[in-house]
Chain A
């Protein structure tokens, strides 16, 4: 195969299976095939396409389910039946569908990459059609308002070189290449997820990166699903990479039926699903995360905040390992190829908040949340370790918590986020002054609890002084009523930031009152037996639209129970 290019797409064998060149040596090319290769024999033809593995970008991505190389799974099902038969070659975007186009640019105007040519609406979203990469010049024509398919010409550009280039609404982009932007910006707005332990303790930002490692059954997928459902990104790209078919079926069952609390439209309308399940071809699994992030960048470039979930990046890494093994490359740690670390870093590097290219100067972001599935739950393995080197938030899932059905099973002692300082201003401006202080107070109490527990394990609780007992008591309230948050509770599945803040306030006030009471000679047993302690137990399930009332009443009751008549902290 002399003349073939590295990463070029090919059609392999008599069934024309899609593959990619991943190794070249003289005139022999090594091809990874994105489909089951059963039945292929030496001597069968290989046809080059001249182009690298690319995705189609344009209106029609939202609400769609693709496999790892962007073949539309619903269309495939309609054409080929319930089981996936190989050799399917179907376009990712509908060529027939007409979109109502509204021009923005005008003839003779300057056209540079990122210039908005016009818009179409994709559900509730304004889908901006931009001048593609590599084209610079002036518009010779821009289509008028009207209905166009994605392959219709909507503009013409006369380039500096004197070529007249027709422009349609469809773009192709090689998945392994990050899409360009003007400038990386410092992210500072939290990505609000409605999950208390995340937003209030270990926040992620719009444009940030997070990893969720944990043994099987600890809650990685539920965390990812919760974020896909409730986080306040505009667009969600969910990559089911080498995981269960039923988990995608679950998304497909729930998302169209659930409404986005912010827009009131079905969650599916803002979601692109990439599903390459564990029993689908491994090479396409390897490609799936790139397919996903390229689509995410495409919407970022229109000025949207996009969040991408990849469940699980370990399966992606294993796909790399499998392919590397077949290439007989020198294996590194645990058999992974030596380039594992750089591939992981390269992937997470594509996250970020940016100023997009072009005259609009818009800002957009891609947040990336990757699940990690360490063998045996051992975080010292290469994928977890190399991921931790590049991400800024670490939600460590803990088997013991999961076994006790403490969900989300995010361990509050070993998890961290590097963003709290960046987001405190947001909390101050949008919710309340004391977020940072209360957060620190609560984390300190939990830290204290773990230290005290070591003593309790040796000598029992009786010997502890009352204020230490109070720490244990409050820590239990923090765990039981603040940190535990069931994804299956119709109310508590999403906790708005204001409610989180108010819950923190009730708990920290309780701790403060308790401390005073102890100073006045009360015992923890006295405090714990106050009826108001019970009121703190079920704060999460108080309805999201009426919690203020209930919480304020609780606050008043607390004040009077502790013998004071002023609300608030002392």
Chain B
């Protein structure tokens, strides 16, 4: 984009988050505009559609108080860009990257297009360094690796924020112990949630190696379209220019998608499911695929997006499309939460697609894969029997079946429900698993190698 800046006052229509400017013959698709309101306030916008006579613009600051007489629009000739430098660490910005911590503007080190560019698939280094989060349901059965995108699927009132904060606090790469830089991008979170994270970062000293972007629930909704892109641009700079390992927390992707839906509806586009635009998969991919590692570069981007499932419905388009893009998902369960289990992770629908490359001999422990599969099989069976028992009662069960029932209950309270304080090492997690598996006769452990059963089953946990 090379055209010089041009200014127009020919706003002909304002509708929802969009405005239409006439007489602009050469607006470039994606070009940034500066909208000046009658009272002098400036807002950021971007060209969504350009024809020979009109340009359609989405206004990130919202369209309230815009008029068609005085409001002027300056076409900058630039794509959406952001200033980055090592100084961004420790800073707090609003959802459009304006300083929100009373500090000054960032002194430019580098200017980056916030849309990023796709990583060439042949340049990607496959993620395989296990991150120990200290949380058994994750480390033991849904292992996170460096460079992975692993969302938390949650629901209103569930403790996803504490879980994300706990992971940010505890996450260490096994054997490496290097700390993560943290990028936090908040879209539409409440003041209370924002305060929670800021306090958390301050108390743990994480703020010094964190970059925070916050769009609050009462900030302009359309701004949420750029907030995650700002956060990821900062992350890419830290990871691929400065060589840092970056953990990106994005909360809440559902609020982001609602903003997308709003723009799409204003453009009268044909929706796919539940009013969300047909291109939402592609759009979400342009965010989530910005996680990863690159051959020959030191840094990495690990993403931990938080998705609140409307009505706890995992088939809702936002979690559904997310699950199709991300490398697994950690699913929180209202039932477990009600039972007082923390973290209330339901392992059955949870998945880490990159687990198998990050575990096993030389990485975590030789028994890790088998133990995980066995826990899954046994817990799934226990849960099936639980629903059976509600119909036929426990009397109808064989002795073996009863063991599975007992296993499922103990699994929830001791393995998943480890409590909020501190974490377990991967070894401790696997030992805790063996403690549970001892409920079963060795023949039942058909997902684990016999030699490993021999070795671990009889060993008392330290």
Most-contacted residue by chain A among B122, B321, B348 (CB, 10 A): B122
Query: A42-53, CB under 8 A of B: which get 1 and which 0?
Result: 110000000000
Segment of B35-43, B216-224, B372-380 engaged in the interface with chain A: B372-380
Q: Which of B301-325 contact A (CB under 8 A)?
A: 315, 317, 320-321, 323-325
Looking across the interface, which residue of chain B has its beta carbon closest to that of A240?
B121
Contacts between the two chains (Cβ within 8 Å), count: 201
Chain A residues, Cβ within 8 Å of B282: 242, 278-279, 282, 318, 322
Query: Chain A residues with Cβ under 8 A from B242's Cβ?
Result: none
B192 at the interface (CB under 8 A from A): no
Do the beta carbons of B297 and A322 come within 8 Å of each other?
no
Do B28 and A245 touch across chains, with their CB atoms under 8 A apart? no
Given contacts A278-B289, A282-B279, A322-B279, contact A38 B119 (CB under 8 A): no
- List B contacts of A480 (CB < 8 A): 446
Residues of A within 8 A of B272 (CB): 321, 334-335, 375
> Once the chains bind, are B123 and A244 in contact (CB under 8 Å)?
no
Which residues of chain A (476-492) have a CB below 8 Å from chain B? 480-481, 486, 488
- B1-17 contacts to A, CB under 8 A, are 1, 3
Flag if A246 contacts B126 (CB, 8 Å). yes
Residues of B within 8 A of A41 (CB): 3, 26-29, 31, 50
Known contacts A38-B79, A403-B349, A405-B380; is-contact A77 B28 (Cβ 8 Å): no
CA distance A331 to B122 in the complex (A): 36
A257, B3: Cα distance in complex, Å: 49
A83 touching B26 in the complex, CB below 8 Å, given contacts A322-B278, A335-B271, A404-B377: no
Complex CA gap A383/B20 in Å reads 36
Question: With A84-B120, A275-B121, A480-B446 given, is the CB distance from A462 to B278 under 8 Å?
Answer: no
Interface pair B327/A77, CB less than 8 Å apart: no
Contact with B along A30-41 (1 / 0, CB 8 A): 000000111111
Number of residues of chain B lying within 8 A (CB) of chain A: 81
A142 is an interface residue with CB less than 8 A from chain B: no
Please, which residues of chain B bring their CB within 8 A of the CB of A460? 392, 395-397
Q: Could you tell me if A488 and B289 are in contact, using CB atoms closer than 8 angstroms?
A: no
The contact string, 1 if C-beta is below 8 Å from chain B, for chain A 1-42, is 000000000000000000000000000000000001111111
Of the candidate stretches A146-154, A247-255, A287-295, A428-436, the one touching chain B is A247-255
Q: Which of B117, B325, B353, B369 contacts A83 (CB 8 A)?
A: B117
Question: Is A77 in contact with B122, judged by CB distance below 8 angstroms?
Answer: yes
Instruction: Give the docked Cα–Cα distance between A277 and B327 (Å).
Output: 14
CB distance from B454 to the nearest CB of A (A): 14
A 417-446 to B, binary, CB cutoff 8 A, 1 in contact else 0: 000000000000000000000000000000
Q: Which residue of B lies closest to A277 (CB)?
A: B121
Contact B121 A375 (CB under 8 A): no
Distance (whole angstroms) from the CB of B280 to the closest CB of chain A: 10
Against B, the Cβ 8 Å flags (1 = close, 0 = not) of A356-394 are: 000000000000000001011110000000000000000
B107 beta carbon closer than 8 Å to chain A: no
Question: Chain A CB within 10 Å — which of B27, B28, B290, B329 has the most?
Answer: B28
| Contact A43:B117 (CB < 8 A) given known A216-B320, A404-B381, A457-B391 | no
B425 within 8 A of A: no
Q: Tell which of B26, B269, B324, B377 has the most Cβ of chain A within 10 Å.
A: B324
A315 interface residue (CB < 8 Å to B): yes
Residues A404 and B380 in contact in the complex (CB < 8 Å), given A42-B50, A331-B270? yes
User: Bound complex: CA of A244 vs CA of B125, how far in Å?
Assistant: 13
Cβ contact within 8 Å between A488 and B369: yes
Which B residues are in CB contact (< 8 Å) with A250? 126, 357
Contact B120–A73 (Cβ < 8 Å): yes
Q: Which residue of A lies closest to B329 (CB)?
A: A217
Let me know if B396 and A325 touch, CB within 8 A. Answer: no
Q: Which of B240-255 contact A (CB under 8 A)?
A: 240
Does residue B330 face the partner (Cβ distance < 8 Å to A)? no
B377 touches A405 (CB 8 A): yes
Does A76 touch B at the CB level, under 8 Å? yes
Between B282, B391, B397, the greatest number of chain A beta carbons within 10 A of the residue's beta carbon is seen for B282
Q: Nearest residue in B to A77 (C-beta to C-beta)? A: B120
- The interface bits of chain B over 111-138 (1 if a CB of A lies within 8 angstroms of the residue's CB, else 0) are 0000111111111111100000000000
Within 8 A of A (CB), among B41-59: 50-52
Complex Cα distance, B384 from A456, in Å, reads: 12
Q: Which residues of A contact B123 (CB under 8 A)?
A: 77, 82-83
| A268 nearest CB across to chain B (Å) | 12
The CA of A1 and the CA of B318, in the complex, are separated in Å by: 40
Cβ contact within 8 Å between A246 and B297: no
A65 within 8 A of B: yes
* Residues on A with beta carbons closer than 8 Å to the beta carbon of B297: 82
Residues of A within 8 A of B320 (CB): 216, 375-376
Given A41-B26, A41-B28, A73-B122 in contact, is the A217-B273 Cβ separation under 8 Å?
no
**Distance (Å) between the CB of B285 and the closest chain A CB?**
3
Contact with A along B91-123 (1 / 0, CB 8 A): 000000000000000000000000111111111
Instruction: Return chain B residues, CB-CB under 8 Å to A160.
Output: none
- Which residues of chain A from 315 to 335 have any CB-CB distance to chain B below 8 Å in the complex? 315, 318, 321-322, 325, 331, 334-335
Residue of B nearest to A217 (CB): B351
Q: Which residues of B contact A81 (CB under 8 A)?
A: 120
Cβ-defined contact, A377 with B324, below 8 A: no
User: Looking at A74, A82, A277, which has the most chain B CB atoms within 10 Å of its CB?
Assistant: A82
List of B residues within 8 angstroms of A402 by Cβ: 351
Can you give 19 A-B contacts (C-beta < 8 A)? A38-B1, A38-B30, A39-B29, A41-B29, A42-B27, A43-B26, A77-B122, A85-B117, A244-B325, A246-B327, A249-B126, A277-B118, A331-B270, A334-B273, A378-B315, A403-B380, A406-B377, A480-B446, A486-B373
Given contacts A41-B27, A216-B324, 7 further A-B contacts (CB under 8 A): A38-B29, A39-B28, A39-B31, A246-B327, A249-B122, A249-B125, A402-B351
Across the A-B interface, give the 8 residue pairs with the lowest CB-CB distance, nearest first: A460-B396, A278-B285, A404-B380, A376-B315, A38-B30, A279-B289, A249-B124, A83-B117
Residues of A within 8 A of B (CB): 36-43, 65, 73-74, 76-77, 81-85, 215-217, 240, 242, 244-246, 248-250, 252-253, 275, 277-280, 282, 315, 318, 321-322, 325, 331, 334-335, 373, 375-378, 399, 402-406, 456-462, 480-481, 486, 488, 534, 537-538, 541
